[in-house]
């Protein structure tokens, strides 16, 4: 009679095999350029010979996969709805745990805001799997929770949608202190503000990820 441990091990191996089988790629769709593999034999990346739907996403060009075979990074071959939002063709998508990084190919209206086309590596749109914006760069000045935020500068939101960082488009007073136009500020959960720095950004990202 199998022990519970042996039975668990067999079930786990079967589950891993099924996951691998479900996400197995038809390698004939990919040319030799950019083709690479993981040690377990799973395709790591490849360049499609022609546009194709891969795991429900319309893809073109280079596509990369996680070691379990699930799609990780790709370029949209046509407009496509992702997490409830229509993303334009030619946008680059990076799938992470519970969220997606989106490099927009053009200015795009999302949830009533005109989001600016991606202009650099760190200028991505971050959207959760529940369709909530967490990081984005508006094309124009916007006001969020009565805070005037400058366009063409990144805005950061807490998971509940409240503002936690932006660059001011006008002088603004918070808790009796006036911050001048052009100042980048970070607002904590209690409503206290401080001058925004990269160190604070990294600290906040790590905390929100946990």
Residue 191 lies in a domain: yes
Q: How far is CA 82 from the centre of its chain?
A: 11
Say how many CA atoms lie within 13 Å of 35 toward its Cβ.
Answer: 12
- Total domains in the fold of the chain: 1
Q: Are 101 and 125 spatial neighbours (Cβ–Cβ below 8 Å)?
A: yes
pTM of the predicted protein model: 0.83
Residue 195 lies in a domain: yes
Tell me, yes or no, whether 51 lies in a domain: no
pLDDT in tens, 93-152: 999 988 999 999 999 999 999 999 998 888 899 999 888 999 999 999 999 999 999 999
**91 contacts: CB under 8 Å, gap ≥ 6:** 75, 76, 102, 103, 104, 105, 118
The whole domain housing 192 covers 141-210
Reported as a single tens digit per residue, the pLDDT across 150-166 is 999 999 999 888 999 99
169 in a domain, yes or no? Answer: yes
Q: Give per-residue pLDDT as tens, 5-57.
A: 444 444 434 434 444 444 445 677 998 777 999 999 999 999 999 999 999 99
88 part of a folded domain: no
Question: Does any domain span residue 14?
Answer: no
Where does residue 96 fall: left (phi above 0), alpha (psi -120 to 50 degrees), or beta otherwise? beta
Residue 80 belongs to some domain of the structure: no
Residue 4, in any domain of the structure: no
């Amino acid at each position: 009679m199998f022990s519970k441990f042996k039975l668990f091990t067999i079930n786990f191996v079967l589950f891993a095999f099924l996951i691998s089988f479900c996400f197995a790629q038809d390698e004939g769709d990919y040319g030799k350029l950019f083709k690479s593999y993981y040690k377990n034999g799973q395709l790591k990346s490849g360049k499609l010979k022609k546009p194709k739907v891969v795991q429900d996403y319309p893809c073109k060009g280079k596509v990369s996969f996680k070691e379990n075979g699930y799609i990780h990074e790709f370029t949209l071959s046509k407009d496509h709805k992702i997490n409830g939002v229509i993303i334009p063709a030619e946008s680059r998508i990076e799938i992470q745990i519970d969220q997606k990084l989106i490099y927009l190919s053009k200015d795009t209206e999302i949830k009533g805001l005109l989001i600016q086309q991606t202009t650099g590596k760190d200028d991505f749109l971050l959207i959760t799997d529940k369709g909530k914006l967490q990081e984005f760069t508006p094309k124009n000045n916007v006001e969020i929770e009565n805070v005037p935020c400058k366009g063409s500068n990144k805005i950061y939101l807490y998971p509940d949608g409240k503002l936690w960082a932006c660059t001011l488009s006008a002088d603004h007073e918070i808790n009796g202190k006036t911050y001048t136009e052009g100042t980048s500020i970070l607002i904590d959960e209690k409503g206290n503000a401080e001058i925004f720095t990269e160190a604070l950004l990294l600290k906040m990202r790590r905390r929100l990820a946990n």
